[in-house]
Amino acid sequence: MPHSINQQIFALAPANEPPRLNKEQERLVVGKAAWIYAMAQSGVPTAPTICLTRQAWENLKTADVGSPMAAHWVATLFKLVKKGQQPPKLVVRTAAHTHLAGLARVRGAIDAPAKDKDALDVKKPLGRAIQRAFDSYQIGTPVWADDGAVNLKDEQIVIVQAAFDQPVVQMQTRDLNSGLMGPTAVNGERALPESFTGTAAQELCATVDRLAGTHMICLAALAGKRVVFLSARPVQAPISAILEAACDRVARGIWTPRQAVSKVDPGRLPQLLHARLKSKKRASPLSVGMGVSPGAASGAIVFSAEDASRYQARGKDCILVSLETGPADIEGMQAANGILTARGGITSHAAVIARVTGKPCVSGVRSLVIDMENGTLQLGDRTLTQGAELTIDGNSGEVYAGALPLTQPNIGGALGKLLDWADGSRTIEVRTNVETIEGARTALSFGAEGIGLARSEHMFFSAERMVALRRMMFSQDLDDRVEALQGLVEYQANDYAQLFTEMEGRPITVRLFDPPLHEFLPRTPEEVQETAASLGLKISDFERRLERLIEVNPMLGHRGCRLAISYPEILEMQIKALVAGGNAAIQTNDVPVNLEIMVPFVSSSREVAWVRSHILALMEQLGMSPSETFKYSVGTMIELPRAAIRAGEIAKHVDFFSFGTNDLTQTTFGISRDDAPAFLAAYQRKKLYDADPFVTIDKKGVGELIRTAIRRGRAANKDLKIGICGEHAGDPESLKFFAGLNVDYVSCSPFRIPIARLALAQAAI
């Protein structure tokens, strides 16, 4: 705090000289006051302006006329008067860190005090206006608080400014849509007067832009032929305009490329990549769930994958509505414009597939009731029939009746330029989580440097392949299983050949078979009949086998490395398919192969050692040894707390760790990620959790496990490569944390790659 109360009364823009503030006074200057002071310092014509704090005002109200403090106040008021002129009328404004509802409106055309005593009287116009301004800070939430939530009332400020006879004009420093340098009219207002479009106004806008580095709305007036700056405030602009403006500042020499990279919010990039609602002003949501895949979509309601495919074939838009989705729904999910589910969360099946395919998705809508028999759904009090229009917002989780207007994504050259600059600062690789050619191509177009997670079981998400997979799952003995696996080898070998070819030597991390059984078992009576028929079984026999396969807790059941250890023939099938696919890519397309085989769901070093030894033995049987043409390595996915704690032992048997943060969060918290939406929102409202741990990494718990595992792993194996492959790898806040752990790569869904590239560059800067 300033040493003297008198120092809390000072001129931001004196009428007849440059401003001279000490460090303590500069600390007090915020909001509008900061822009006025900065513009006056830069030499731009600025309305004469003074400033005082609440503490100074409270002392002034009890000061005697002629006292040193009263004399200082009067002398400061005279700094609003230009030499040789009469005192101007005055304007009183608030100036806070941020624009808040409830602050007093500007009070203008106030007569300057005629006598010294009038300058201290709260009943006179100037005193009344100043008091009203300070009183408005008390409305609602305190404007300023320190880290201990102590109100800093004494340092709240009010500014007093010389008024102008000419009308005051608002103008934008940059166009809100194009990002081009202004001046431009404020959206919705008529064109600027000609006197505010010339060189002087352009220079004013350029100066504000240089100082602020963001879109601003300026208040200006004419003094003769001069454009005089009065005030400014930031204005929210679309991310497309922000990127164009950032590139323009670099071109003008205002920013360096590194500065441009550091100034753009990575969390806003999805707005460029997905459709959004134009406006919600006249629409009220029927319900709100969890937005798990960004973007907005509208279309006719359909309840089955088959209907979604039929709509697509007819060129019509649709929204697939389901209690939850599974592998059998993949084709319908790809055909639909968006997905709406009653169950699930950020890492549910619907969310993962939606993000890979770039579809908007809202999950966990607890009020959603589906009546398949009558072809209706109910959301709150509203009942809608199949074919009715519905709109979903995958950003906010809101669901609306009808087809609301959407804005389509706009990816311009500015984004590519900014990401190229970002790559110049970034040291951590960005890979992607995909297992299809379409997904790989999308990821490469966004700058993916490899595949950090190819979920091999996801390659069977089609009706024909699901039959082959279920034949294996329902096999009764080794002979049945081996026969079923032969069909899977052919499918996977071809898929891998295409992936290796598309990625052209970039690393591909293939996770060994890890199907939580509940995602792959037939669910509906129709699926049960179809699967039984495809296996040549009676319905009754098939249902007995199905009952034996159903697990109480499949997410912690017979999956991951447990499957490979129980049924080595499944592991053998995968390794044969990987080798066959790699060799086909080399021979047919002359591309190198860089394969990373990842063992999932391990909890002990003995599990990893067993699987690794079998993989290497199979490779030897197939005549494979690492080469420049066909590189391969073996690593593990750390997704269980015990694996993280015993990382030092595990690291001795692997070439890399990849942290599966989705399951690691689930098993650390003991929270089912699909059921979490039912209570996580309440936890956040009650301040029990700072954020959804499935969206932003829990640094103190899950993060500490990751940090410990990395430290112990690298102590045991100095060449250990470290990756992150959960959805947290696309969250800006989580990426800052991962960057501090010195990881080698992160891997996220394709549409989050630009976010990761930018956020990691900012962490490096």
Q: In whole angstroms, give the CA distance from residue 287 to residue 342.
A: 11
Residue 147: its pLDDT value, please?
Answer: 45
Q: Do 462 and 503 belong together in one domain? A: yes
Separation in Å, CA 437 to CA 349, 440, 454, 461: 19, 5, 11, 13
Shared domain for 595 and 732, answered yes or no, is yes
Contact (Cβ atoms closer than 8 angstroms) between residue 509 and residue 723: yes
Do 208 and 82 lie in a common domain? Answer: no
Nearest C-alpha neighbor of 130 from the set 221, 76, 60, 234: 60
Integer Cα distance of 745 and 726 in angstroms: 12
Structure tokens at 645: 């704690």
Tell me what percent of the residues of the chain surpass a pLDDT of 70: 95
Which stretch, 104-108, 330-334, 365-369, 611-615, has highest mean pLDDT?
A: 611-615
CATH code (residue 28): 3.30.1490.20
Q: What mean pLDDT do residues 373-379 have? A: 94
Residue 496 near residue 456 (C-beta atoms within 8 A): no
Nearest to 277 by CA among 390, 176, 188, 393: 393
Q: Which of 113-127, 273-287, 392-406 has the lowest mean pLDDT?
A: 273-287
The pLDDT of residue 726: 85
Q: CATH code at 485?
A: 3.20.20.60
Q: Give the pLDDT of residue 463.
A: 66
The residue-averaged pLDDT of 36-56 equals 96
pLDDT band at 33 (very low <50, low <70, confident <90, very high): very high
Is 528 contained in some domain?
A: no
pLDDT digits (tens, 9 = 90+) for 227-240: 999 999 999 998 98
Q: Which residue has the higher pLDDT, 502 or 553?
A: 502
Residue 517: the pLDDT is 65
Range with the poorest average pLDDT among 14-23, 451-460, 673-682: 673-682
Of 72, 215, 349, 653, catalytic: 349
Residue with more model confidence, 555 or 641? 641
Mean pLDDT of the region 372-383:
92
End residue of a domain, out of 218, 237, 256: 237
Position 518 scores a pLDDT of 64
Q: Quote the CA–CA distance of 290 and 397 in Å, as a whole number.
A: 5
pLDDT of residue 102: 56
Reported as a single tens digit per residue, the pLDDT across 600-617 is 999 999 999 999 999 999
Statement to judge: residues 227 and 320 lie in one domain = no
Q: Are residues 605 and 690 in the same domain?
A: yes
Q: Which pTM was predicted?
A: 0.84
Whether 653 and 674 have beta carbons less than 8 Å apart is answered as no
304-322 pLDDT, tens digit each: 999 998 898 888 999 999 9
pLDDT single digits (tens) 115-171: 999 998 999 999 999 999 998 887 544 444 444 444 478 889 999 999 988 889 999
Region of residue 253 (phi > 0: left; psi between -120 and 50: alpha; otherwise: beta):
left
Residue 549 lies in a domain: no
Question: pLDDT, tens digit, for every residue of 169-223?
Answer: 999 999 988 999 999 999 778 889 999 999 999 999 999 999 999 999 999 999 8
**Is the same domain home to 613 and 697?**
yes
Separation between Cα atoms, residue 509 and residue 433, nearest integer Å: 9
Q: Is 494 within a domain?
A: yes
Q: Scanning the structure block, which residue is given the tokens 């804005």?
A: 407
CA dist 99 and 504 (Å) reads 52
- Rounded Cα gap, residues 119 and 497, in angstroms: 84
Which residues are CB-neighbours of 268 under 8 A, at least 6 positions away?
239, 242
Residue reference for tokens 């081009």: 180
- Whether residues 142 and 70 share a domain: the answer is yes
**Looking at residue 552, what is its pLDDT?**
76
Domain boundary among 237, 261, 287: 237
Q: Specify burial of residue 20 (Cβ count, 10 A radius: 0-12, 13-18, 19+).
A: exposed
147 and 32 within one domain: yes
Tokens 């000061």 correspond to 63
The helix-helix angle for 239-251 and 199-212 (nearest 10°) equals 100
Query: Could you give the angle at which helices 199-212 and 31-42 cross, rounded to 10 degrees?
Result: 120
Residue 200 lies in a domain: yes
Helix or strand or coil: residue 25? helix
Higher-scoring residue by pLDDT: 675, 411? 675
Same domain, 436 and 389: no
Task: Summarize the confidence of residues 661-687 as an average pLDDT.
Answer: 87
CB 1 within 8 A of CB 22: no
Q: Judge whether 232 and 44 are in contact, CB under 8 Å.
A: no
Asked if 605 and 517 count as a contact pair (C-beta separation under 8 A), the reply is no
pLDDT at 583 over 90: yes
How would you classify the pairing of strands 389-393 and 398-401?
antiparallel
Top-confidence residue, 406 or 709: 709
Lowest mean pLDDT of 324-333, 515-524, 567-576, 704-713, name the range. 515-524
**104 confidence band (pLDDT: 50, 70, 90):** low
What is the per-residue pLDDT for 142?
A: 46
The whole-number pLDDT of residue 340 equals 97
CA 704, 707, 708: angle at the middle one, nearest 5? 85
The pLDDT of residue 270: 86
How many percent of the chain have pLDDT more than 90? Answer: 66
| DSSP letter string, 116-131 | GGGGT-TTSHHHHHHH
Span 413-422, average pLDDT: 94
Q: How many domains does the chain have?
A: 4
* Catalytic (active site) residue 215: no
Does residue 457 sit in the same domain as residue 573?
yes
Q: What is the C-alpha R_g of the chain?
A: 32
What pLDDT is stored for residue 141 in this prediction? 46
CA distances from 129 to 112, 119, 583, 612, 725 (A): 12, 11, 81, 78, 58
- 63 within a domain of the structure (yes/no): yes
User: What's the mean pLDDT when you consider all of the chain?
Assistant: 90
Same-domain status, 295 and 354:
yes
| Residues β-bridged to residue 455 | 511
Closest CA to 457 of 448, 439, 470, 474: 470
Strand partners, 658: 637, 723
**310 & 443 share domain:** no
What pLDDT does 150 receive? 41
The CATH number given to whatever domain includes residue 283 is 3.50.30.10
Convert the pLDDT of each residue in 454-496 to its tens digit. 998 777 666 667 777 777 777 777 777 777 777 777 888 999 9
- Label residue 99 by pLDDT band (50, 70, 90): low
587 lies in a domain?
Answer: yes
| Domain presence at residue 265 | no
pLDDT average, residue stretch 79-95? 93
Show which of 129, 162, 195 is a domain's final residue. Answer: 162
Predicted confidence band of residue 562 (pLDDT cuts 50, 70, 90): very high
Q: What is the pLDDT of residue 101?
A: 56
pLDDT value, residue 22: 95
> Which pLDDT belongs to residue 100?
61
Sequence-ordered strand ranges (E) for 113-223? 157-162, 169-174, 181-185, 216-223
Looking from the CA of 417 toward its CB, the CA atoms found within 13 Å total: 17
Active site residue 725: yes
pLDDT at 480: 77
DSSP characters for 283-324? ---SEE-EEEE-SEEEEEEE-SHHHHHHHHHTT--EEEEESS
Domain hosting 322: range is 275-407
Distance CA 243, CA 257 (A): 12
Determine which helix (DSSP H) or strand (DSSP E) holds 52, and give its type and residue range.
Answer: strand 49-53
Single out the catalytic residue among 205, 725, 728, 748.
725
| Average pLDDT value for residue range 655-672 | 95
248 pLDDT more than 90: yes
For residue 439, count other CB atoms closer than 10 A to its CB: 23
Predicted pLDDT at 577: 92
Residue 653 structure tokens: 């048997």
Answer yes or no: is 266 within a domain: no
